[in-house]
A and B are shown apart, each in its own frame.
Chain A
Amino acid sequence: MAPAESNSGGATKDQPPVKAPAKDLKKKDDKKDEDLSEEDLALKQQLELYVERAQDTDPGLQKVALESMRQEIRTATSSMTSVPKPLKFLRPHYGTLQAHYEKMSDSDLKKLLADILSVLALTMSPEGERESLKYRLLGSDGDIGSWGHEYVRNLAGEISQEYSKRQSEEAPIDDLMDLVVQIVAFHMKHNAEPEAVDLLMEVEDLDLLVEHVDSTNFKRTCLYLTSSAKYLPGPDDMLVLDIAHSIYMKFEEYPRALQIALYLDNFQYVGELFQRCEDPLKRKQFCFILARHGVSFELTESIIADDEERDALQNLINNTKLNEGYLTLARDIEVMEPKSPEDIYKAHLIEGRGSGGGTVDSARQNLAATFVNAFVNAGFGQDKLMTVPAEASSGGSSSSWLFKNKEHGKASAAASLGMIMLWDIDSGLAQLDKYFHSTDTHVVSGALLGVGIVNCNVQSDCDPALALLAEYVEKEDASIKIGAIMGLGLAHAGSQNEQVRSILMPLLLDGRSSLDVIAFAGIALGLVYVGSCNEDVAQNIVLALMERSESELGDPLAHFLPLGLGLLFLGKQESVEATAEVSKTFNEKIRKHCDMTLLSCAYAGTGNVLKVQHFLGQCAQHLEKGESYQGPAVLGIAMVAMAEELGLEMAIRSLEHLLQYGEQNIRRAVPLALGLLCISNPKVNVMDTLSRLSHDTDSEVAMAAMISLGLIGAGTNNARIAGMLRNLSSYYYKDASLLFCVRIAQGLVHLGKGLLTLSPYHSERFLMSPTALAGLVVMLHACLDMKALILGKYHYVLYFLVLAMQPRMLLTVDENLKPLSVPVRVGQAVDVVGQAGRPKTITGFQTHSTPVLLAAGDRAELATEKYIPLSPILEGFVILKENPDYKEES
């Protein structure tokens, strides 16, 4: 980002100190003369002659001398490593020329000399003097590029230094800006977009860029802009992205523009995009991108006038195609056959031990099987426990499995049906209907939660979740209430639905509500208004927190309220400050916990290094009795640092240190943080760390490590993790709690039989779905106190993961949105930011035909010229258009 240092460094390093006596230089040169070839010697003498002549009194002679000198410099060929010969030979005369310049009267000749001095200063100017720039400004405003690339780069570096100096002195900068314009134009023309962008960032005038980009270089420019945005502080990153957006709009690269609009969370831009782009197919592609991001965006009449088209597009945004596409993928990969938990446990591979006992049902293990079954068969619409084949008569396996769960376990069992029918509203509701009429409150509660799960990430214009769940929120029974609240939260996550708010908000301040109802209401509101900074909701949650008695605040459930509050500000950085200020007035029992939670949520996905340091600092402190803020702080490190690869690697190393030196409560959170950092991305080093921790003497560390093993392997079918977990299942076979965690992790690894991912990042890791992250964070916070929540009676918080579940697929569709199989190359993505030419974007690729699965860090590109993808990013649903120029090869 600072070309000045890096560029000038190389040029000045190996030169003798300028202030050395001239005699010494002469002597050296004399010695060197002997080594010179005849050609060089001639050139040297020639130049010396020019220098002499330039000091002549005759202006005519001067002019000729200066011009020939210029000619020599310009025609000199230089390489990266050596100084051009004319410059080298002129160096001893820099001082003389400089002195002569001072004596000259103003004239064109003086400007000409200034130009030459400016070039000579490239190698001669002492560091920090910026003489090159000084003489450039004094010289003629000739074509800047005529002096070569190196000169321009050096100049750019000096400009940025000069700029900051003048900025602090509040001196005018107009003359600089003229130069900047020239340099930018030069860079943009010569494939040096990063340099141009860097210079403009230094002089804080990126708007200039828009004028200079053209169709050949805008892609590289924007790529550089967007990727540098991640490392920029404060408002600058938004500004940079804004420029990128306007450039993309200018060149009609709408899908990219849409991405940036989504990154900026700017729905006005999204609306404009739909208005600007008339192509109905492209509009459909936009809808797919919006749907993948998981935002609810309503197309109004002002955006799209045509009713029919608007309905069709709105349906796409509502993700109604998701289930269909997912099943297409599943059929193509041939994994439709339902799997039972035993297929996942693979007990036969564990040597020396069969299924153990086996005759007696263990409620804990049945519950684990329920979750495993739900995770593994998620979205497939069929399984071996909960769904009954149509021909099976009454008393089928469905109800019998349901009742093999104990009490609150039945809620999770009933809700698991929702998970199995994920994204398929029509059949899902029909399947769940029978549970609504049950007399068992837990079953009803599960059915309500199931409705929420089915509707998660998909919307229907009839909004069945709201219609069905609203009335149950009023019910007396706490478990039914929680089912309905959680269902609403899941179904409407990110929708900012007013109706949902009016249903949930009164619960917060209702004196009769029990703590768990209030806690779940807080979370649900946080999900519905995720990242909205909604004042009203925030205030109500704050009030609810203040009303809690001190003993209630000690309950792990009470920690859900600050979390709900934090979710409101997810990724919104400074906007949280007012609320954070209020939180300082809370009871000291929860004050710091709340502070950490708010901060971690607000800076989630920003990569803000200062915040990471802040959290690390908090972890270095010793806990007072009864405090619990370090758990959220550790998670906060992961939440903030997960934004980009470098920060992520650093965070992993920092967490290793915490493991070594941290106290027990920190060590318990570290595995979870690792799990979040590498979610659905089984990095081997993290896998090894977690494997080590899974044998930790502290059972809570071990449990967290095992859950995290599941998280990093989520939906990958990773054989190594699966093997580790199998061994753990035999190692911990007699500890029901630990075994439960192993089972959950096994279920997660085979999530959706390996077709799903939990990563909130998508679109080449550029965009982060806020609802997905919110779901993960809620689940992880619940894992901070495993014994009270997940191993207690609130195990259904595991279903919050459904928010992050997305198929990790590339499904190409034709213009009628029917699946279209084309060959694609899938390989490891290569970072091509700032690289010259047209580098390969993937490496080690294999050619498949769509639909294909994409692993973490994979990128796909079409292997045929026959079609043109409407989105440059081949992920999720991509519409293909036939290439009109394509000719069949004979």
Chain B
Amino acid sequence: MLKVNVKWQKEVFSNMEVDTTQPPYVFKCQLFDLTGVPPERQKIMVKGGLLKDDSDWSKVGIKEGQKLMMMGTADEIVKAPEKGPIFSEDMPEEEQAVAVGHSAGLVNLGNTCYMNSTLQCLHSVPELKSALIQYPPPVRSNAVDQSSHSLTVATRELFSELDKNVRPVAPVRFLTALRSKYPQFAQLHNGIYMQQDAEECWTQLLFTLSLALRSSSSSEDADALKKFFGIEIVSRIHCAESGEESTETESVYSLKCHISQEVNHLHEGLKRALKSELEKSSPSLGRTAVYTKDSRINDLPRYLTIQFVRFFWKRETNQKAKILRKVDYPLSLDVYDLCSDDLRKRLELPRRLLRDEEGKKAGLKTNESSSTKDSDVKMTDAEGSSNASGDSSVSAPGEGAPPEKEKHLTGIYDLVAVLTHKGRSADSGHYVAWVKQENGKWIQFDDDNPIPQREEDITRLSGGGDWHMAYICMYKARDIAM
């Protein structure tokens, strides 16, 4: 009989008797009583070796008072969970894109940043995407020529590809379609495709799409794009000399922001652009006279596009020069005071509701009683206004099931995309798109390289230096369900 000390974890069992005539298994059973570790899971270490169940004590060379070490626990053995986690590395690319939180970038195919940035901005309009998916219609009308058709199809394909990929997409097909439709984008200079004006690209593309989609969309909403982007403007043309007055309405796809010495803010620029003077022959005076044109917005789209008129044709240098003036623009824009009286009336109720709702969200507890009173008033008001806006068709486009409540515009818009230009002239420099993602984060799409940005940096693109400055801003309507 030998006596040994066994160390197990932090415990020491001293003076354990070892019967050297019995196999070590017996000794392990002794330890089982003490520790609760089953013998088969015990590992007993003797000077750099393991004690086997059937080894011979004499060969182990054990001595009186020797220290042994035992390893082993009665813990449950780890088992792999039946359903292992799914790793993003194993997922197909579409799902990865969701996990990344933004869509892919676009490869620059040689001075095509004007196109890439335009596409990235338009790509952020889900309504446009869903409209494109329905294209082409089962019955193709002949209203669309071949090149417009292929451009529309190319846009559709490209948008869906952007959603599926994490890696940058090369818009080769789209570019070919664009150039065949609009040969001016295929201008060469020294054998290289020239840089183009993004605004021109934007306008032309929207124009083509609106043509194509008009024919495709079902009969009820005749012009889908007009609904998303179209702005109806009522102008009063007045001649001070003769007192003649006429009104005309027109539909445009973007508001212009004129930049002059006095303009420091987007709002001022917009106001300026809506007032203009023109000379035309006055029928009453029988000669040309100066007319003032005073425009108001009569109908608002879901996406308000604003172009900063930063480029003008400089005759001296024969090129499009750029105005670098800093013009601030807000993250949320209220165009209420640019609207016609008619539209203002329609906007009033939704605006009030919106204010209340936001007040509630902000935690301003409007006392219950007053709000109920208010709602009574609103109920009556709402009826009136819904009549008024009945045929203005500002309802949200059907995404799946029709909304239970109709959505109404409020005249308040949130910034969702900015197309910026960096450089000194329209045909040079670099265009970049800054797009707000669905998760509320801003991504700067610099061709194939999407870079996350902070919201406060977006408003710093207002110009006044050589940094990127906003050229086209796209605002999305903040609407309210009623």
| Contacts from A to B (Cβ < 8 Å) | 351-353, 356-357, 359-364, 366, 394-395, 398-400, 402-404, 406, 426-427, 429-430, 433-435, 437-438, 440, 443, 460-464, 466-468, 470-471, 499, 730, 733-734, 736
Contacts and interface: CB of A to CB of B under 8 A. Distances in A.
A434 B48 CA distance: 21
B452 interface: yes
A735 to B, nearest CB: 11
Contact of A360 (B76, B88, B450): B88
14 contacts: A352-B452, A357-B88, A360-B91, A360-B99, A403-B81, A403-B85, A426-B9, A438-B77, A460-B69, A461-B47, A464-B45, A467-B43, A467-B45, A467-B48
Nearest to B43: A468
A462 B68 contact: yes
Nearest to B68: A462
Nearest to A351: B454
A363 B47 contact: no
Given A404-B85, A462-B47, A427 B10 contact: yes
A439 to B, nearest CB: 8
Contacts of B50: 467-468, 470-471
Nearest to B87: A363
B73 interface: yes
Interface size class on chain B is: 35 or more
B454 A399 contact: no
Task: Kindly name the residue among B71, B78, B90, B91 whose own CB sees the greatest number of chain A CB atoms within 10 A.
Answer: B78
Contacts of A353: 441, 452, 454
B4 to A, nearest CB: 12
B453 interface: yes
A466 B7 CA distance: 17
A362 B99 CA distance: 10
A430 B8 CA distance: 8
Given A398-B78, A467-B43, A730 B86 contact: no
Contacts of B48: 462-463, 466-467, 470, 499
Nearest to B37: A433
Nearest to A437: B77
B49 interface: yes
A462 B6 CA distance: 11
A468 to B, nearest CB: 6
B46 interface: yes
A734 B457 CA distance: 20
B63 interface: no
Contacts of B84: 403
Contact of B71 (A360, A363, A468): A468
Interface in B29-88: 41, 43, 45-50, 67-69, 71-73, 75-81, 84-88
A399 B78 contact: yes
Contacts of A426: 7, 9-10
Interface in B409-425: none
Contact of A361 (B9, B46, B86): B86
A427 B8 CA distance: 9
Contacts of A734: 100, 450
User: Which 9 pairs from chain A and chain B are nearest by CB?
Assistant: A352-B454, A463-B48, A462-B69, A363-B87, A467-B45, A466-B48, A357-B99, A437-B77, A399-B78
A631 B442 CA distance: 41
B455 interface: yes
B100 A468 contact: no
Contacts of B390: none
B49 A435 contact: no
Interface in B93-146: 95, 99-101
B242 to A, nearest CB: 58
Contacts of B72: 430, 433
Interface of B: 7, 9-10, 41, 43, 45-50, 67-69, 71-73, 75-81, 84-91, 95, 99-101, 441-442, 450, 452-455, 457
Majority SS of interface residues in chain B? Answer: mixed
Contacts of A402: 78
B71 A362 contact: no
A471 B7 CA distance: 22
Contacts of A471: 50
Contact of B73 (A356, A433, A460, A467): A433
Nearest to A400: B81
A357 B41 contact: no
A468 B42 CA distance: 11
A628 B457 CA distance: 45
A488 to B, nearest CB: 11
B165 to A, nearest CB: 13
B85 A433 contact: no
B40 to A, nearest CB: 10
A462 B78 contact: no
A433 B47 contact: no
Contact of A463 (B47, B88, B91, B99): B47
A433 B75 contact: yes
Contacts of B99: 357, 359-360
B452 A733 contact: yes
Contacts of B450: 734
Contacts of A429: 71
B68 A357 contact: no
Nearest to A409: B87
Given A351-B454, A357-B99, A437 B41 contact: yes
Contacts of B86: 360-361
A728 to B, nearest CB: 14
Nearest to A362: B88
A473 to B, nearest CB: 13
Given A463-B45, A467-B45, A467-B50, A361 B75 contact: no
Nearest to B457: A352
B9 A430 contact: yes
A395 B80 CA distance: 10
Contacts of B85: 361, 403-404
B71 A430 contact: yes
Given A467-B43, A499-B48, A730-B452, A361 B87 contact: yes
B75 A434 contact: yes
A406 B80 CA distance: 11
Contacts of A430: 9, 71-73
B453 A403 contact: no
Contact of A434 (B7, B46, B73, B455): B73
A207 B328 CA distance: 84
Contacts of B71: 429-430, 433, 464, 468
A433 B454 contact: no
B255 to A, nearest CB: 29
Contacts of B453: 352
Contacts of B100: 356-357, 734
Most A CB contacts (10 A, CB to CB) among B41, B48, B81, B90 go to: B48
A362 B81 contact: no
Contacts of A434: 73, 75-78
A655 B388 CA distance: 77
A348 to B, nearest CB: 14
Nearest to B46: A462
A648 to B, nearest CB: 38
B426 to A, nearest CB: 30
Contacts of A359: 99
A440 B76 CA distance: 15
Contacts of B101: 356-357
Contacts of B43: 433, 467-468
Nearest to A399: B78
Nearest to B7: A426
A361 B95 CA distance: 12
| Among A361, A426, A467, residue most surrounded by chain B Cβ atoms (within 10 Å) | A467
B41 A462 contact: no
A125 B437 CA distance: 88
A468 B45 contact: yes
Given A403-B85, A433-B41, 15 more contacts: A351-B454, A357-B101, A361-B87, A361-B88, A363-B89, A366-B87, A394-B76, A426-B10, A434-B78, A438-B78, A464-B69, A467-B43, A468-B50, A471-B50, A499-B48
